[in-house]
Amino acid sequence: MYPLINKRPGARATQRGSALIVGLILLLVVTILAIAGMQDTLLQERMSGHWHDRNLAFQASEAALRQGEGWLESSTANHGTAQTHDRLEKPFSWDGDPAHGTLDMNDLDLELAEDAAYYVNPPSYSRVPGSMDIAEPECDRIFPIFGHGVGGTENARVTLRADIIPRNSPLVSCPPELGE
C-alpha cells in the first residue's frame, strides 16, 4: 500500500529538514552575489556619469579657448590690450575668475554649472629665425591663452592652454633681454 521509507521499523528519518537548510544556504549565496552585482553596476554607472561630466567640462574649456583665440585674432588692437593684462599667476588652479571673456553655453542645453571663461596672458617673445639685424632683432609675440570649463557639477573642472602667434600680428622689436 504505502511504500516504506525506512527499512527498519521504528527507525527515525535522520535527513528530515536538511533540504531546507541547503536551500536556505543556496538562497543566501545567490542573494550575496546579486547584491555584489548591483554594487558593481552602481559603481560603473557613477564612473560613467563622472566621465560624462568631465567630458562636458573639457568641451566647455575648449570652446572658451577657441573664443579667446578668436578675440585675439579679431583685431591687432587686441594684441596691445593683451600686453597690458596681468599674468595669470597659477593658471592650472585658476577657477575662471578673473576672466577676459566668458562663453554662455546654456543655449546648447548642456546644463553646465558655470559659464566657460578664457584668459589671455601677456605675450612672451621669440626671435624670428633668419632675423639678421643684430641691432634691432625682430620677434614674434606668443600669447598664452587659457580656457576654463566646468561640467554639470562643480567637481568637474578642466583648464586648457594654447600658445598662439596671431596670423595678423606684425613682427615687433625684441625686448632688450632677447636682443643680444
Average pLDDT, the chain: 83
Tell me the pTM.
0.72
What does the pLDDT look like over 16-36, one tens digit per residue? 678 888 899 999 999 999 998
What does the pLDDT look like over 85-97, one tens digit per residue? 888 888 878 877 7
Q: Quick one: pLDDT at residue 143? A: 94
Contact criterion met (CB below 8 Å) for 161 and 122:
no
Q: Quick one: pLDDT at residue 88? A: 85
pLDDT bin (cut points 50, 70, 90) of residue 2 is low
Domain-wise residue ranges, the chain: 67-180
